[in-house]
């Protein structure tokens, strides 16, 4: 008989690619993870992982078991959801990880809405970028992630996650008031090819959006300054340190002294925001109202 907790460990090792990283995500010791993998191999009668200097990879047998693992764990999430519904599920805590602008734009208003419509549900919010929040959901550190699509992100049909679109917003060009294009009604992105750039660090989903937009315009942006805080990005632009692309919602209420904000000429780069939960958990009686509130706020 295969134990479900060992399937959790197998998936964590597949996701994180090393025993040490999987152990850290699961709050276990590396030796405990190795012992559970060995026990799982004994239960199945197959070698499931291969270790090398570069980490761990699944064997063909391990890949077969991983595909079944996604189905089994999703079904267990559904079982927990139905049992919680049977027990009324009117009170409990849901943890939501989201990036800063997402917290301000949809999570905080959703918390206020739930206080009126589902007062028994307590929301705990953690600030985390999308590339961090999705692994947190898979590792059961949080229940819901509000994240941004980026290159390398799990696809909408990923068997581990349920994907709920929330909203999409364009990036606008932010240039110093002294910039040669400051008076243009729209900014052609290709015209910024020779400028110094200010933007998020690699790994931040918005970094991918900016770089991909510039690549589509025929150039690689020369990133001279890096910050994940868009207030800092705008402040540097106002100091004539460079140009930037910033999501429109991130500019709300910001001090724009010293810069001008212009839409992009042509197809604007877009930040697509979604909520994600472990597949099978989307109908949990505590999580469903949170997803509904996020969707209602985003549509409004």
Distances in whole angstroms, Cα of residue 84 to Cα of each of 44, 75, 95, 146: 31, 14, 16, 23
What confidence tens digit (pLDDT) does each residue in 63-97 have? 999 999 999 899 888 888 877 766 665 678 899 99
In this predicted structure, the answer to whether residue 35 has a pLDDT above a threshold of 80 is yes
Predicted local confidence at residue 89, as pLDDT: 59
What confidence tens digit (pLDDT) does each residue in 167-206 have? 999 999 999 999 999 999 999 999 999 999 999 998 888 8
Structure tokens at 82: 């139905």
184 CB-near residues (< 8 Å, 6+ apart): 262
CB 106 within 8 A of CB 300: no
Q: Which of 148, 147, 62, 61 is nearest to 97 (CA)?
A: 147
CA dist 134 and 168 (Å) reads 18
Predicted local confidence at residue 2, as pLDDT: 84
Residue 196 DSSP SS3: strand
Predicted local confidence at residue 53, as pLDDT: 78
Most confident of 5-19, 123-137, 237-251: 237-251
Predicted local confidence at residue 92, as pLDDT: 83
Predicted local confidence at residue 231, as pLDDT: 94
Q: Is the pTM above the cut of 0.75?
A: no
CA dist 162 and 182 (Å) reads 43
Residues 267-278: what's their mean pLDDT? 92
What confidence tens digit (pLDDT) does each residue in 202-241 have? 888 889 889 999 999 999 999 999 999 999 999 999 999 9
């Amino acid at each position: 008989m295969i134990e479900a907790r060992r399937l959790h460990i197998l998936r964590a090792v597949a996701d994180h690619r090393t025993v040490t990283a999987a152990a850290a995500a699961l709050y276990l010791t590396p030796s405990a993870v190795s012992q559970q993998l060995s026990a799982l191999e004994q239960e199945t009668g197959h070698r499931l992982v291969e270790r090398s200097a570069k980490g761990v990879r699944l064997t063909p047998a391990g890949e077969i078991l991983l595909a079944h693992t996604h189905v089994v764990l999703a079904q267990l999430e559904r079982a927990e959801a139905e049992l919680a519904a049977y027990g009324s599920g009117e009170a409990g805590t849901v943890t939501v990880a989201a990036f800063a602008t997402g917290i301000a734009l949809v999570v905080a208003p959703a918390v206020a809405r739930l206080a009126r419509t589902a007062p028994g549900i307590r929301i705990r919010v953690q600030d985390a970028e999308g590339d961090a929040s999705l692994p947190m959901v898979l590792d059961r550190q949080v229940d819901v992630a509000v994240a941004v699509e980026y290159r390398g992100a799990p696809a909408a049909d990923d068997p581990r996650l349920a994907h709920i679109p929330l909203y999409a917003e364009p990036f606008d060009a932010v240039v110093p008031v002294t910039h040669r294009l400051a008076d243009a009604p729209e900014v052609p992105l290709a015209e910024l090819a020779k400028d110094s750039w200010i933007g998020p660090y690699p790994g931040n989903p918005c970094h991918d959006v900016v770089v991909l937009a510039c690549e589509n315009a025929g150039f690689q942006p020369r990133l001279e300054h890096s910050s994940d805080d868009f207030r800092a990005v705008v402040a540097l632009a106002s100091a004539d340190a460079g140009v930037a692309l910033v999501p429109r919602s991130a500019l709300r209420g910001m001090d724009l002294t010293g810069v001008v904000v212009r839409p992009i000429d042509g197809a604007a780069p877009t930040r697509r925001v979604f909520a994600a939960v472990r597949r099978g958990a989307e109908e949990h009686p505590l999580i469903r109202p949170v997803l509904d509130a996020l969707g209602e706020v985003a549509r409004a």
